[in-house]
Amino acid sequence: MRRFFSNRRLVIIIVCIIVCIALMNLSVVIRNKRSTPPLIQQFGNDIVGFTDRIVALPVNGLQGTSEAISGLLNTYQENQKLKGQVETLTQTQVRDETLSKENKQLKKELKLNSSLTDYSAVTAAVISRTPSSWQNQVIINKGQASGIKKNMPVLSGAGLVGRISEVNKTNSKVELISDSNDSSNRFAIQVTNKSGQTVNGVINEYDKATNRIVMGNVTSKKKLEKGDKVITSGLGGVTPKGLYVGKVISAGNDDYGLASKVVIKPAGDLSNLSVVTVAVSTN
């Protein structure tokens, strides 16, 4: 033991530990403060991301095939169910088209060029996932070149699943809302109840055990019910308004009985991420 901790070796070990902690803290600071990582890091990540696609393509292809086979088995039942939905969908679509046209005209009259609801959707494929116990983070194949910026919201299927945490030129990292990092799921959302009243708030917890989003510290006395729809409110930052988040499961007092707490069932499917959509706000 004495030989192992000789003077020189001890100094080297201590220097290594100090450098290690310094580097870690530096990268966390850079991650929090800057909108893009340093150029060298971006460049390196772009090259690594490019080579990753060569390996990821066959592996993800394998996943696609197995999913296709299992999908085939319950196609018939799904088809029956979907047929019914299609008819109502067409009606909604036509109405949606007329409304958006009318909206555009009204905006023009008001000389309003872009509002909070304007965004373009960028579709990206998930290349790989961080092998880590503490970070729920996936890497997607679109970056700055496609107009993606840090903190933009990411959707999968029907609803919100996370936000962009690091952008390189051709790939970026997405922190899922289930991540234990506090900033990963702070989205400004609003709930509209049956009588048309809205309640604003911020997501402040993701309950991993039950897969529920929790909106806490709500002081509004407006009555919310199970099934009320939750969307992003577009307040404060780069998240556009009107992204679907989920439905209210329950609303009640929080643990201290002062404010109320709304539990939301997320619409996005966190367990099956192969293609995601990034909402790039245009204003």
> Does 55 participate in binding other proteins (rule CB under 8 A)?
yes
From CA 111, how far away is CA 77, in angstroms rounded?
Answer: 49
> Does 129 participate in binding other proteins (rule CB under 8 A)?
yes
Question: Position 101: which residue type?
Answer: K
Helix axes 39-73, 75-109, angle to 10 degrees: 130
Query: Which part of the chain contacts other proteins (CB under 8 A), choosing from 106-114, 134-142, 214-222, 255-263?
Result: 134-142
Rank residues 16 and 145 by Cβ distance to other proteins and give the closer one.
16
Q: Are 202 and 213 in contact (CB under 8 A)?
A: no
From CA 220, how far away is CA 259, in angstroms rounded?
Answer: 8
From CA 93, how far away is CA 144, in angstroms rounded?
Answer: 32
Query: Which part of the chain contacts other proteins (CB under 8 A), choosing from 56-64, 95-103, 190-198, 247-255?
Result: 56-64
Residue identified by tokens 């910026």 is 149
From CA 267, how far away is CA 158, in angstroms rounded?
Answer: 6
From CA 13, how far away is CA 18, in angstroms rounded?
Answer: 9
**CA neighbor of 187 nearest in space, from 243, 227, 141, 228:** 243
Q: In whole angstroms, how far apart are CA 211 and each of 175, 240, 273?
A: 16, 24, 15
Rank residues 198 and 210 by Cβ distance to other proteins and give the closer one.
210
Q: Which of 11, 12, 23, 106 binds other proteins (CB under 8 A)?
A: 23
Query: Which part of the chain contacts other proteins (CB under 8 A), choosing from 90-98, 121-129, 230-238, 242-250?
Result: 121-129
Rank residues 140 and 224 by Cβ distance to other proteins and give the closer one.
140
> Does 127 participate in binding other proteins (rule CB under 8 A)?
yes
Q: Using CB under 8 A, which residues numbered 180 to 199 contact other proteins?
A: 180-181
Rank residues 60 and 193 by Cβ distance to other proteins and give the closer one.
60
> Does 212 participate in binding other proteins (rule CB under 8 A)?
no
> Does 76 participate in binding other proteins (rule CB under 8 A)?
no
Determine the distance from the C-alpha atom of residue 97 to the mean position of all C-alpha atoms in its chain, rounded to a whole number. Answer: 27
Rank residues 100 and 272 by Cβ distance to other proteins and give the closer one.
272
From CA 13, how far away is CA 72, in angstroms rounded?
Answer: 57
Residue 111 tokens, joined: 């000389």
> Does 243 participate in binding other proteins (rule CB under 8 A)?
no
> Does 143 participate in binding other proteins (rule CB under 8 A)?
no
Q: Which of 6, 27, 35, 250 binds other proteins (CB under 8 A)?
A: 27
Residue 197 tokens, joined: 């009243």
3-class DSSP assignment, residue 22: helix
Q: Which of 69, 72, 121, 209 binds other proteins (CB under 8 A)?
A: 209
Rank residues 175 and 228 by Cβ distance to other proteins and give the closer one.
175
Binding site for other proteins (CB under 8 A): 16, 19-28, 31, 37, 41, 44-45, 48-49, 51-52, 55-56, 59-60, 62-63, 126-139, 165-166, 173, 180-181, 208-209, 271-273
